Amino acid sequence: MPRALITGGSAGLGRALAAGLVARDWDVILTGRDEHRLAAVARELGRRVTPLAGDVTDAGHRSAIAASITDGLDLLVNNASTLGLSPLRPVLELDDQVLRDVWETNVVAPAALIRTLRPYLEPGAAVINLTSDAAVDHYETWGAYAASKVALEHLTLTLAAEEPGLRWWVVDPGDMRTQMHQDAFPGQDISDRPLPESVVPGFLALLDDRPPSGRYRAAELVPANAGA
């Protein structure tokens, strides 16, 4: 059976994607900081899921992930991410620590996890790094998060040039009704945003079709007959 690791798998998109992979008989390692929430999701999704609690910014946690892998990985999804603060603030009002925290979680940790897990990635394995439309457009108050996603995109596509034996995809999932999105719009009604489950078919199509390494929007990947 194919094997995946998803960081930040206890909620939102990571949890939805894990459910989608398990339904296709993948074995999935899920990470997240809140051990109890992660264990509850693992119980819900069944025996194919292995929870591994920890913070992606912690090198010890990343080593523990590597130590837990016995048979190699076919897919690594760097999904865990942070906005830095809520409500979001203009660039000139961001202190150094917020900038460092965002960089550490959204850029340094995925790059370090890829480096740590490179020996475990099977030939032809895929790496999916989550990005955002904020990496393309320039929205007021989104500067720190957006800049970190730009950096993650650039690292990913550089890796595509350096390691052509693997697939390297950056994927913008689009707006989703999750805690991160609510944190970006505190106090606002976000019930019109689609649930993360709605974009999972796009990720599954990516795995089926294996297009070249590059940047993709989940909405464009969904097969025309998805959900029919």
Query: What is the contact surface with ligand NAP in residues (CB under 6 A)?
Result: 7-14, 31-34, 37, 55-57, 79-82, 105, 130, 132, 173, 175-176, 178-181, 196
Q: Specify the 3-state DSSP secondary structure of 227.
A: coil
Q: Which residue, 122 or 136, is less far from ligand NAP as judged by CB?
A: 136
Alpha helices by DSSP H, the chain: 12-22, 35-45, 59-68, 96-103, 109-117, 143-162, 179-184, 200-209, 218-221
Least distance between ligand NAP and beta carbon 164 (Å): 25
Q: Is the peptide bond before 212 cis (omega within 30 degrees of 0)?
A: no
Q: Give the DSSP H or E segment for 169.
A: strand 167-172
Phi, psi dihedrals of residue 181, rounded to the nearest 5° = -65, -40
Q: Which residue, 132 or 156, is less far from ligand NAP as judged by CB?
A: 132
Q: Which residue, 77 or 207, is less far from ligand NAP as judged by CB?
A: 77
Q: Which residue, 56 or 205, is less far from ligand NAP as judged by CB?
A: 56
Q: Which residue, 38 or 121, is less far from ligand NAP as judged by CB?
A: 38
Least distance between ligand NAP and beta carbon 3 (Å): 19
Total Cβ atoms within 10 A of residue 12: 21
Phi, psi dihedrals of residue 132, rounded to the nearest 5° = -155, 155
CA distance 103 to 82: 9
Least distance between ligand NAP and beta carbon 218 (Å): 9
Residues contacting residue 180 through CB under 8 Å, at least 6 positions apart: 12, 81, 83
Least distance between ligand NAP and beta carbon 34 (Å): 3
Least distance between ligand NAP and beta carbon 73 (Å): 17
Least distance between ligand NAP and beta carbon 182 (Å): 8
Q: Which residue, 164 or 190, is less far from ligand NAP as judged by CB?
A: 190
Count of all residues that appear for the chain in the document: 228
CA distance 134 to 162: 26
